[in-house]
Structure formats: C-alpha cells, structure tokens
Structure 1
Amino acid sequence: MPPEDIADRLAIQDVLFRYAHALDDRDSQLLRTCFTEDAVCEVGATLVGIDAIIAFAEGVLSGFDVTQHLIANPRTTIHGDRAESVCDLHAQHVTRGAPGGEHYVIGGRYDDSLERTPEGWRIAHRRLRVTWSEGNPAPLTSRLREMRARPQQPG
C-alpha cells in the first residue's frame, strides 16, 4: 500500500474518532471539523447541513448526564478525493436517577461517504444503522419529542 493511502486511511479514521470525542465532550467546534458544510446525516431524522447536525447533536445530548461513543472496526475504500467507510458503533447514554433505569446502550454501524476538502477529510453523508439496543430509551425518546415540539427558528 502506498504511503499516501496509509496517510489517507489514518486521516479518515481520525475523523471517525474525532466525531465520537466531539459528541462525548459536547464540543460543537470539534464536531464542525468532522463534516462538510452541506453534509447529510441520517440518524432517525434526516439532517441537512452542518448547522442542523450540530443543533440536533446539542439538543439530543443535552438530555444525558454523560455519553460514551466507541467507534471500532473501520473499513474504508478510497477513490481519489472520495471515500466510503463503514464502522461499528457502541454508544452508552447515562441519565442519573432516570425512572426506569439510568442506562441506554445502542449498537450499530455508521455508513459514511467522505470527501477530501482543503481542510482535510470530512464526512459528506452519514447514515446510522442501529442493530440493537438495551436499557431505558425513555430519556432519549422524551428529548426527541421535546425537540420536535419546539417551533423551528427561521434562517
């Protein structure tokens, strides 16, 4: 494998891992470095554009005391300035004192299309496939209902 292919693979893995850290650290600026400006993210809702992705992440994650997203087993195919990647996800969500249980865990995969930009590799399209879950989903479903009920801000 040529050295530039190795460098691209490492840079793409860095984006995948950076995304998990951004979510768990509630770091919107770091999250912004993971996506193209016009990215699409399918996570139950279809989010279009980096600002929508960040707003959704901030809204959903504010309902948890702590989260830990683990990304594993990335498989990446690179075609010039574009790449396809699939990686496994294990995400722990904790809401201390929640009736029905404090923990909600999901397992699944992210299917990603990435693009090389002047700033480096970025996710252009991400699709979450949840394959299993365990625990109390109520804090998440409650937060999603609250977010849907809020009037959308113009602009």
Structure 2
Amino acid sequence: MKAAKSIFHYLSYVQYPFIIIGVYYAYKPLIFELDTFWDDFNKVLVFLGLGISLSTLQDTKKVQHKLAKKVWENPKYARAFLIYLFSLIVIVVLFGLYSLLLATDEHLQEISSGIIVFGVGLIGMLKAGIEMAENHRKDPIIPETQATDI
C-alpha cells in the first residue's frame, strides 16, 4: 500500500507541466494574436483543471508550507476554506453546464468544456482538502463507539 501511495505522490508532480502549458495559453493571445483568445482561454481552463486534478494525488498527510499547516490544523479555518471551495465548485460547475447546454453565446459554448474540466479538478481538490483537514487537525476526531446490540 505504501508503494502505491508513493507512486501517486510522484505522479502528482506531473501537475507542473500542465500548469506551465496553461500559463503559456494564458499569455499566448497577449503575445501573438488576440484572434484565438476564446480557444486559448478554453485550453487554459482545461490544462489548469488537469493540473489541479493531478495535484490532488499527492500525500495528504504532508503539508507543503506554513500557511497550509496553519489552515489545516485549525478546524475553524479548515471548515471555512472547505465551505468556500465547495461554493466555488458549485458556481463553476453550474456555470459550465449552463454554458454547455443553455447558452446562446458562441464564446460561452466554446469555453464550456474547459469550465467543466476546471470544476472537476476543483472537486478533486475538495476531496484532498477534506483529507488534509482530517489528517492535520490539532484536536483529532474521536470515533464514536459502535453499538453492538443487534
């Protein structure tokens, strides 16, 4: 089991090329031509969504920096962050579905798949955040005793 965890942790480093590609497409219209702005913006959303998805493969028992440690150790901050992230996911995914199914604007339809991929990446981030909150809280949750009177 430990080997599989290690493989996924190292596989999470593949997020960086995806994020770099996303940043490239973010600046491409500014450097070269603005004609492909919406197509490039869709690619930004797709590559950032994939990068975020891959970042959730890392070991959730480790904390990357002091700010993250401060957030995940305090149940109040962790809860606020998770509620914010959940709200963001709902907004992004609903907007992506609206863009895909109901929007009449061709630009919204063009970026709808990117918005949905980005939202799915955020769902993975929420799952990892929940695990981080459970693993790092200062006052660990004590599991309830299960009644065995069947």
- TM-score (norm. length: structure 1): 0.25
Q: Identify the structure with bigger relative contact order (alpha carbons < 8 Å, sequence gap 6+).
A: 2
| Higher share of residues assigned strand | 1
Query: Quick check: which has more Rg, 1 or 2?
Result: 2
Greater share of helix residues, 1 or 2? 2
TM-score under structure 2 length normalisation: 0.25
